[in-house]
C-alpha cells in the first residue's frame, strides 16, 4: 500500500533491481488509445491517396503522444516516490492523455487542436506540480534544474494555448516552433545539473513502449485481415500480407532488443539524442501496422491507391525502423564492417521490395527475418567480446 506522503527526493542512479512499476505500466497502457487513434487516421489518409498530408499530420499528432510519455518517463525515473500525491498526479496525467486521444481525429483531419491542447493542459498542470514538488526537496543546482523544468513546461504550454488563436494557415509553422521549444527544455534545464535518471530503468521503459507500438501493429493487421475475410473471400491475397506482417513484427522485436543498451547510456550526452531519436522508432513501428491495413484494403479493392503505394505503406516505415534502430542501438555494439552494414543493407533491401508487386509485404518480412539470421551468424562467429556484441545478433 502506498504511503500517504513521503518527501520527494532524488533516487539513486546506482539503485539495484530498478524496474517499471505497476503505475508506469498502467500509464503506458493508456497511450494505446492515442496511438490507435493516430494509426487509424494515417490508414485513412494513405488509403485515400494522400500520403504527404497524411504522414505530416501523423507525425504532428504522434509527437504529442511521444512527448507526453517522455515527460513522465524521465521524471519518474529520477523522482518516483510512489506516495498518494504522486499517484494522484499521475492519474491526472493519464486523464489528460485520454482527452488528448479524443482530440486526435480533429487535429489530424481538421487541424483543430482544441481538444488535444486541453488534454495537454491537464497533463502539464500535474507534471508542473510534480517538478515544483521535486524542487521543494532539492537544494542548489538540483533545485534550479527542477524549477527550470517547471518554468519551461508553463511557457511551452502557454504557447500551445496561443496556437488555438492563430489562423489555420500558420498553425503548423507555429507547431514546429513549439516542438523545438519543447525539445530545448530538458537541454536548458539540465545544463548545470543532470537529473538522476536510471539507465536500466529508462531502457526498460523505452523497451516497453516499443512493445506497445509493435503490439498495435499486430492488433491493427489482425483486425484488418479479419474484416476483409468477413466481407470477401480473398484468402490468397491476404495470407501473404498477414504472414509478411507477422515476420516483420517478430524481426523488429528481435532486432530492437538485441543489445544491452543501458551500457551505452552513461550521461545526457548519449541519453538525450537516444531518447529523442526514439520518436522515429516509435512512430515508424506504429506506422507499420497502418501500412499493413492499407495493404489489406488494397488487396480487397477498398484502397484508392496503386499497388506501389500500398507496398510503400509497409516497406517505408519498416526500413525506417531498421535504420533508426541501427543508428541509435546496434552500431554502438557491432564490430567490423559486416556487422555494421547488416541493418542499413537490410533497410535498403526492404525498400527494394516495394517494387515486387502483390507479394511485397511477404518479401519484406522474409528480408527482415533474414536480417536476424545474418546477425546471429555474424555474432556467433565474431571474436568474443561481451562489451561490444550480443549473442542475440543484430
E-strand stretches of the chain = none
Tracing cell 492488433 back to the chain, one arrives at 219
Q: What is the mean pLDDT of residues 254-262?
A: 91
Return d(Cα 348, Cα 95) in angstroms, integer.
41
What's the pLDDT at 239?
84
Return d(Cα 267, Cα 39) in angstroms, integer.
33
Return d(Cα 363, Cα 353) in angstroms, integer.
6
**pLDDT-based confidence at residue 387 (cuts at 50, 70, 90):** very low
pLDDT tens digits along 102-141? 999 998 888 889 999 999 999 999 999 999 999 998 899 9
DSSP string covering 121-145: HHHHHHHHHHHHHHHHT--HHHHHH
Whether 262 shows a pLDDT value over 60: the answer reads yes
Whether 27 shows a pLDDT value over 80: the answer reads yes
Sign, Cα dihedral of 152, 154, 157, 162: negative
Residues 6+ apart with CB under 8 A from 54: 41, 42, 44, 45, 46
Closest C-alpha to 74, from 162, 190, 173: 190
DSSP class of 382: S
Tracing cell 522508432 back to the chain, one arrives at 281
Which of the pair, 229 or 36, is modelled with greater confidence? 36
Residues 6+ apart with CB under 8 A from 105: 37, 40, 41
Q: Please, what is the average pLDDT of the chain?
A: 90
Apex 60 CA angle, 122 and 170, nearest 5? 95
What's the pLDDT at 391?
57
CB 107 within 8 A of CB 119: no
Class of the CATH-defined domain 199-381? mainly alpha
Which cell numbers hold the place of 355?
A: 517494387
Residues 6+ apart with CB under 8 A from 217: 245, 249, 285, 286, 288, 289, 292
CB 288 within 8 A of CB 216: no
**pLDDT-based confidence at residue 14 (cuts at 50, 70, 90):** confident
Closest C-alpha to 120, from 109, 107, 133, 110: 107
What's the pLDDT at 1?
61
What's the pLDDT at 233?
66
Return d(Cα 131, Cα 133) in angstroms, integer.
5
Extents of the domains making up the chain: 22-189, 199-381
pLDDT tens digits along 210-225? 999 998 888 877 776 7
pLDDT tens digits along 286-321? 999 999 999 998 988 888 899 999 999 999 999 999
Residues 6+ apart with CB under 8 A from 246: 218, 221, 365
Terminal CA-CA length for the chain = 42
pLDDT tens digits along 309-366? 999 999 999 999 999 999 998 888 888 898 999 999 999 999 999 999 999 999 999 9
Amino acid at each position: 500500500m502506498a504511503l500517504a506522503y513521503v518527501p520527494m527526493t532524488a533516487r539513486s542512479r546506482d539503485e539495484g533491481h530498478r524496474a517499471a512499476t505497476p503505475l508506469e505500466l498502467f500509464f503506458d497502457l493508456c497511450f494505446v488509445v492515442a496511438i490507435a487513434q493516430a494509426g487509424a487516421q494515417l490508414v485513412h489518409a494513405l488509403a485515400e491517396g494522400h500520403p504527404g498530408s497524411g504522414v505530416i499530420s501523423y507525425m504532428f499528432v504522434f509527437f504529442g503522444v511521444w512527448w507526453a510519455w517522455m515527460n513522465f518517463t524521465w521524471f519518474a525515473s529520477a523522482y518516483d516516490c510512489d506516495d498518494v500525491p504522486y499517484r494522484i498526479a499521475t492519474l491526472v496525467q493519464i486523464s489528460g492523455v485520454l482527452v488528448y486521444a479524443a482530440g486526435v481525429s480533429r487535429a489530424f483531419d481538421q487541424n483543430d487542436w482544441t481538444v488535444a491542447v486541453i488534454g495537454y493542459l491537464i497533463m502539464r498542470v500535474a507534471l508542473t506540480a510534480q517538478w515544483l514538488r521535486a524542487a521543494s526537496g532539492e537544494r542548489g543546482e538540483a533545485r534550479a534544474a527542477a524549477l527550470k523544468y517547471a518554468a519551461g513546461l508553463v511557457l511551452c504550454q502557454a504557447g500551445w494555448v496561443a496556437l488555438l488563436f492563430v489562423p489555420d494557415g500558420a498553425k503548423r509553422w507555429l507547431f514546429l516552433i513549439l516542438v523545438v521549444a519543447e525539445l530545448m527544455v530538458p537541454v536548458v534545464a539540465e545544463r548545470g545539473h543532470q537529473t538522476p535518471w536510471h539507465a536500466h530503468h529508462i531502457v526498460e521503459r523505452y523497451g516497453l513502449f516499443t512493445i506497445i507500438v509493435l503490439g498495435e501493429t499486430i492488433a491493427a493487421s489482425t483486425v484488418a485481415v479479419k474484416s476483409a475475410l468477413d466481407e470477401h473471400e480473398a484468402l490468397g491475397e491476404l495470407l501473404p500480407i498477414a504472414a509478411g506482417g507477422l515476420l516483420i513484427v517478430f524481426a523488429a522485436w528481435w532486432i530492437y532488443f538485441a543489445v544491452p543498451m543501458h551500457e551505452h547510456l552513461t550521461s545526457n550526452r548519449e541519453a538525450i539524442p537516444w531518447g529523442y531519436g526514439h520518436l522515429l522508432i516509435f512512430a515508424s513501428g506504429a506506422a507499420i501496422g497502418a501500412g499493413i491495413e492499407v495493404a489489406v484494403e488494397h488487396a480487397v479493392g477498398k484502397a484508392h491507391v496503386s499497388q506501389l503505394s500500398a507496398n510503400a505503406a509497409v516497406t517505408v516505415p519498416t526500413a525506417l525502423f531498421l535504420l533508426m534502430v541501427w543508428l541509435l542501438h546496434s552500431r554502438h555494439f557491432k564490430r567490423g564492417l559486416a556487422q555494421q552494414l547488416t541493418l542499413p543493407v537490410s533497410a535498403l533491401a526492404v525498400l527494394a521490395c516495394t517494387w515486387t508487386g502483390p507479394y511485397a509485404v511477404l518479401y519484406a518480412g522474409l528480408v527482415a527475418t533474414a536480417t536476424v539470421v545474418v546477425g546471429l551468424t555474424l555474432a556467433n562467429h565474431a571474436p568474443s567480446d561481451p562489451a561490444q556484441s550480443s549473442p542475440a545478433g543484430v
